[in-house]
Structure 1
Amino acid sequence: MLNLSVVLEDSARRYPDRTALVCAGRRLSYRQVDEWSNAIANLLASRGVTPGARVALSCPNIPEFVAMYHGILKAGAVVVPLNIMLKPQEIAYHLNDSGAEVYLCFEGDEALPTGDYGRAGFADAHGCREMFTFAGILSAGTGSADGDPGAAWAPLEGMPRTFATSVRSPEDTAVILYTSGTTGRPKGAELTHANMTLNALTANRLFDSNAIRHDTYLLTLPLFHSFGQTVMMNAGLATGATLVLLPRFEARAALDLMLAEEISVFAGVPTMYWSLLGALDETVDVARIADNLRVAISGGAALPEEILSDFADRFGIPVLEGYGLSESSPLALFVDPQRGPRPGSIGVPVWGIEARLVDADWDDVPEGGVGELAIRGHNVMKGYLNRLDATAEVLRDGWFRTGDLARRDEDGYYFIVDRAKDLIVRGGYNVYPREIEELLLTHPAVSLAAVIGTPDERHGEEIAAFVILEPGAQIGADALSEWCKERLAAYKYPRSIEFVTTLPMTATGKILKRELTAARQAVAS
């Protein structure tokens, strides 16, 4: 029997007084966080949440995320983490599709009114019966660091700080992470307690992390995303590490925390490394940061070689790159720390994982050839929630087709050469063109639309849309972009919209996005 909450509970038993979380100067011990999550589990149980029920969570990188995530698990429920940038109609879709019974939502502020968006989405989620909003302990004035961090939240009043954690099977779903291909709407990848627990332990094995070393992590990767959730939060909790939470990434703030908290483990997407290097000046004690920094991890997109070498020159350690997906919990392949980085490579399979390159019929491609990367092991999801056909397309005999084309060199290192699908990765976030295209088609002025990713120095890729207007319709590109912005998360809407009269198509009517990309690149050059 296994419950993912063991990563917190075991450290709370072994190191109750060790600092677990640091946020905006506030420090919480493992005992406090564990008791807080117990109170949340009691709250959920009192509201009729039973093992296997789904509970959605919208929350930035603040202590509430850690406590509520593990409180949901302790109650035996399934965590459905939502991107905090989702707009109301997107929230409603996720609540309805996941079948969430309860929704926990951070109140937010004027800059990001998460609570307002959440309430509007909840109103259209007919199966979600209850919603709780919270302001966060840092704004709630909860008193001393020795006190109860949940005391100021009214729903927890009178809730016991002990809870008998629900016993779950390793194959029971622990977390549903939403992802998507380039067709259809986002799908919920069901990740089991075994998937998530073993992936966190694999991260610790990979980076030589242990309780005796007592690392200090800087958590600025979104915890609603699999990378930050598994590789940083759960892996760090499992070794009794101290997790320093930065709700919104700002390069100078991150550098200041690296100094003040003596950060030893940092993970980010390439744009974060680009920003950190750009923020360095004579006032930053790079030598002190480098003395403490033991591991630097990058994922989400390929790290440019120039940034990789510049970081190694300034901080004295290499950036370790890897590959994973929400469907793989996410760690799948990673550069072997003992063999060092290989520019352009996503590395080799991590412990317990197999990889191969296959053709359309699932047969292995000849040595040296390019094929679709497939993986098998303890990290692979059990399937997409309520989507048997979509699951059957990507899973066979335990093998998962990633949708990415790759090659393998003579040393067993894998290199992504192209995407088999049209996925756009903007600043480390997955953006799915079909979702944007479908939204554009709901505008009365739009007849047809195609969305592609274009190279961008800062974000890796930027989103561009090609639009054919309805006869006689008139709307400006900026106005249409703003219309999308009001309906999509901030990282999704197209920054560039070009009005065209035709789109390149095959004889069967399929839009040739490669031709759009090539034409755009020719203009840029």
Structure 2
Amino acid sequence: MNLTSHLGETAKKYFNKPAYIFNDSSSTYAELDGAVTKFASSLEKLGIKKGDHIALVLGNSPHFVIGLYGALRLGATVIPINPIYTPDEIGYIVNNGDVRAIIMLDLLVPMFEKMNPLIPKVETIIVCETPQGTSIGVDPKKLSIYPKLKSFSELVGAGDLGFVGPELDDEDVAVILYTSGTTGKPKGAMLSHKNLYSNARDIAEYLKMSDRDKVITTLPMFHVFCLSVALNAPLLSGATIIIDPKFSPKEIFRITKEYGATVFAGVPTMYNFLLQYPEGNPEDVKTLRLCISGGAAMPVALLKGFEQKFNVLVSEGYGLSEASPVTCFNPLDRPRKAGSIGTSIVNVENKVIDENGEELPVGQVGELIVRGPNVMKGYYKLPEETAATIRDGWLYTGDLAKMDEEGYFYIVDRKKDMIIVGGYNVYPREVEEVLYNHPAVVEVAVLGVPDPNQGEIVQCYAVVNDKSLTEESLISYCREHLAKYKIPSKIEFLEELPKNTTGKILRRALKDKILQQ
């Protein structure tokens, strides 16, 4: 079984039940499954076949759901991309991922017109029409990419409801999720149909999702947290997803009350905004049976404050792109432990090991490793990276953790230097690579600094050879090459960076400097 075939089965069982609600209108499972089939049929007519790579450059919308499941039904591999990425970031993923077709927002047409010469492998660009897109003032017939442009709605409308896709193998690559690597360039985690289906199934079972649930889908769909927890798992269960294009506390309270939402999934930053919202009324969220937190560690004070005010359980979990993503959640049938990521979900094993690969006793800190049907096939075109990350069937997460006597895990620190800004992963090397391309930058170090609203923000220390260079001009330079949440909030110029005897920059010394300020 896989996600797209299971959707067909769910549509037979819950024919007239709403699969999703978007902009206060709904679509049934039968309508969704029909649109998926017709879109897959039209993709095939365009010459796209099983194994081809299709990028989704979309926000939260029915387009994303239909595009994802339609491509999977055809046997294509989907590469979700954050639509707020810069042309440099999108171009790298599109080229490295050997993308043949792109499904994107019409608002991005001008950007892709400029990018066209840089993405020669792309043969088809499918444009999703939005009300805002009518104001971009672009005549598509005057664009160099016009021969490549196709209308999403027209493709769905012209599709064949009798289309039967190719047979899919469990080990076929369904999705490639790009995450940053040690070189500073993103690397693609290849997730098979089995990886995605098993994780969605096991999440749904662990969190007791059913057809009675209404799940708020406000996390970005291109992110694996939302993809599995707030999209695939609910659709697998016959639940209704309430698609929210852009998070705002006011809207979350409104749709929860209006539609009787039962499950909310968010990152700690979202919970902080909801808790601080002056008009947040516990009565508006009384239908919620469960709130799910992930993407970053949730401060215990925030967790307890939210639960006390709104009288709803918050279950923290843990995951990573390479594990589809969930490996742990706080269980619903046992006490929730604040500060813990919970216990291993169904069919997944977690354990803590020392540097020799030996399992550590309860309470001792070591590296968290994971094994299960959710673990990726490997990194796309990176066999050495794959071999270093997956050993004897175990995925080495790079995170430091400990386990208590009841099997609850706790993340102690990150072995890697990843920064988490509002639930989004920012890798220092990626930001450093951009800054090193500036002609005046000699040395640079990027690290995360605690922030009450975003969890962390990006801070930079730089040595430059041009004393007239200002902090603002260097931040402006970053804006040209990085997504908004990756841009340093502060850049401090130093005469030199602290180093050890081998010349390695000492990040710990810089963190200590921040603490002393």
Question: TM-score normalised to the size of structure 2?
Answer: 0.94
SS of residue in 1 equivalent to 2:291: strand
Selected match of 1:373 from 368, 389, 402:
368
- Alpha-carbon spacing, 1:27–1:414, altered in 2? closer, same or farther (3 Å): same
CA contact (8 A) 2:44 2:74 kept: yes
Structure 2 residue matching 1:96: 3-state secondary structure: helix
Determine the structure 1 residue equivalent to 2:511: 517
1:151 CA drift (Å): 9.4
Counterpart in 2 of 1:424?
Answer: 419
Does residue 484 (structure 1) correspond to residue 478 (structure 2)? The answer is yes
Distance 1:119 1:178 in 2: 23
1:146 maps to what in 2? none
Q: Contact (CA 8 Å) 2:126, 2:151: kept in 1 or not?
A: no
**Matched residue type, 1:393:** A
2:233 is aligned, of 216, 232, 235, to 235
Quote the Cα distance in structure 2 between the aligned partners of 1:166 and 1:285. Answer: 50
* Corresponding residue for residue 202 of structure 1: 202
Aligned to 2:351: 356
- Report whether the alignment pairs 1:327 with 2:326: no
| CA drift at 1:261 | 1.1
C-alpha contact (below 8 Å) 1:95/1:122 kept by paired residues = no
How do 1:209-224 and structure 2 match up within 5 A? 209-211=209-211, 214-224=212-222
Please name the residue that 1:193 is paired with: 193
After TM superposition, give the deviation of residue 486 of structure 1 in Å. 2.1
**Aligned counterpart in structure 2 of residue 448 of structure 1, from 443, 446, 449:** 443
Q: What is the match of residue 44 of structure 2?
A: 45
Superposed, 1:380-419 pairs within 5 Å as: 380-419=375-414
Please name the residue that 2:139 is paired with.
none
Deviations 1:229-270 (A, max 9, x none): 111101111122111111111111111111111110100000
Q: Please give the secondary structure, in 2, of the residue aligned with 1:486.
A: helix
Q: What corresponds to 1:496 in structure 2? A: 490
Given that 1:5 and 1:74 are in contact with CA atoms closer than 8 Å, whether structure 2 keeps it comes out as yes
Distance 1:358 1:115, change over 3 A: farther
Task: Give distance in 2, aligned partners of 1:123 and 1:73.
Answer: 28
Structure 1, 364-373 or 403-412: larger mean CA deviation:
364-373
What is the SS of the residue equivalent to 2:283? Answer: helix
Superposition TM-score, scaled by structure 1 size: 0.92
Distance 1:137 1:54 in 2: 28
The one-character-per-residue Cα deviations of 1:430-489 (angstroms, maximum 9, x if unpaired) are 00110110000111121111100001111111000111112x452210121121012111
**2:60: which partner in 1?**
61
**Equivalence for 1:275:** 273
Matches of 1:243 and 1:277, distance apart in 2: 23
> What is the CA-CA distance between 1:310 and the residue it aligns to?
1.5
Retained in 2: the 8 A contact 1:353–1:376?
yes
What does residue 178 of structure 1 align with?
178
Moved more, 305-314 or 369-378: 305-314
Residue matched to 1:116: 110
In the alignment, the residues of structure 2 paired with residue 465 and residue 258 of structure 1 have an alpha-carbon distance, to the nearest angstrom, of: 40
Aligned identity (percent) is 38
Q: Relative to structure 1, is the Cα distance of residues 307 and 343 closer, same or farther in structure 2, using a 3 angstrom cutoff?
A: same
> Structure 2: how far apart are the matches of 1:87 and 1:122?
14
Change (3 A) 1:473 1:445: farther
Is this contact kept in 1: 2:3–2:236, CA < 8 A? no
- Greater shift in the superposed pair: 504-513 or 295-304: 504-513
Q: What is the match of residue 283 of structure 2? A: 287
Task: Indicate which of 426, 449, 455 corresponds to 1:460.
Answer: 455
Whole-angstrom distance in 2 between the partners of 1:468 and 1:411 = 49
Matched residue type, 2:42: L
State whether residues 219 and 232 of structure 1, in contact with CA within 8 Å, keep that contact through their aligned partners in structure 2.
yes
The count of corresponding residues between Structure 1 and Structure 2 is 502
CA contact (8 A) 1:170 1:194 kept: yes
Q: What CA deviation, in whole Å up to 9, does each residue of 1:323-350 have, x standing for no partner? A: 0000010110111111132121111111
Indicate whether 1:77 and 2:69 are aligned.
Answer: no
Q: Secondary structure in 1 aligned to 2:485?
A: coil
Q: Distance in 1 between matches of 2:243 and 2:271?
A: 17
> In the alignment, does 2:470 pair up with 1:505?
no
Kindly indicate whether the alpha-carbon contact (under 8 Å) linking 1:91 and 1:121 is maintained by their aligned counterparts in 2.
Answer: no
Cα RMSD after superposing both structures = 1.8
The CA distance in 2 between the partners of 1:230 and 1:454, in whole Å, is 29
Residues 285 and 310, structure 2, Cα contact 8 Å, conserved in 1: yes
Distance 1:215 1:323 in 2: 22
Output the CA distance in 2 between the equivalents of 1:151 and 1:26.
22
Gaps of 5+ in 2: 135-149
SS at match of 1:450: strand
Give the whole-Å Cα distance in 2 for the aligned partners of 1:3 and 1:172: 10
How far apart are residue 129 of structure 1 and its match?
A: 2.0
Give distance in 1, aligned partners of 2:110 and 2:498.
41
Residue in 2 aligned with 1:6? 5
Cα distance change, pair 338–381 in 1 and its aligned pair in 2 (3 A): same
**Stretch of structure 1 that moved more, 128-137 or 415-424:** 128-137
The offset of 1:152, in angstroms, is 7.9
Secondary structure of the equivalent of 1:259? helix
Match of 2:29 in 1: 30
Shift of 1:134: 1.6
Once residues 36 and 116 of structure 1 are traced to their aligned partners in structure 2, the CA distance between those partners, rounded to angstroms, is 28
Whether the 8 Å contact between 1:100 and 1:128 is mirrored in structure 2 is: yes
Question: 2 CA distance for matches of 1:14 and 1:139?
Answer: 36
Residues 475, 255 of structure 1: alpha-carbon distance in 2 compared, 3 angstrom cutoff: same
Write the distance in 2 (CA, Å) between the matches of 1:183 and 1:417: 25
**CA distance in structure 2 between the partners assigned to 1:410 and 1:156 by the alignment:** 53
The 2-side partners of 1:243 and 1:123 are apart by 38
Unaligned stretches of 5+ in structure 1?
A: 109-113, 141-149
Distance 1:289 1:316 in 2: 9
Equivalent residue for 2:308, pick from 294, 299, 313: 313
Letter in 1 for 2:56: L
Rate the CA distance shift 1:139–1:446 in 2: closer, same or farther, 3 A: closer
Q: Distance in 1 between matches of 2:166 and 2:177?
A: 21
Q: 1:170 is matched by which residue type in structure 2?
A: D
Question: Secondary structure in 2 aligned to 1:401?
Answer: strand
Match of 2:143 in 1: none
Equivalents in 2 of 1:317, 1:155: separation in Å? Answer: 43
In structure 1, the partner of 2:119 is: 125
Partner of residue 147, structure 1: none
Distance in 2 (alpha carbons) for counterparts of 1:70 and 1:286: 36
2:109 and 2:301 map into 1 onto residues whose CA distance is 41
Determine if contact 1:296/1:320 at 8 Å carries over to the other structure: yes
1:166 matched to 2:162? The reply is: no
C-alpha separation in 2, matches of 1:245 and 1:513: 40
Aligned match of 2:100: 101
> How many Å separate the matches in 1 of 2:293 and 2:192?
25
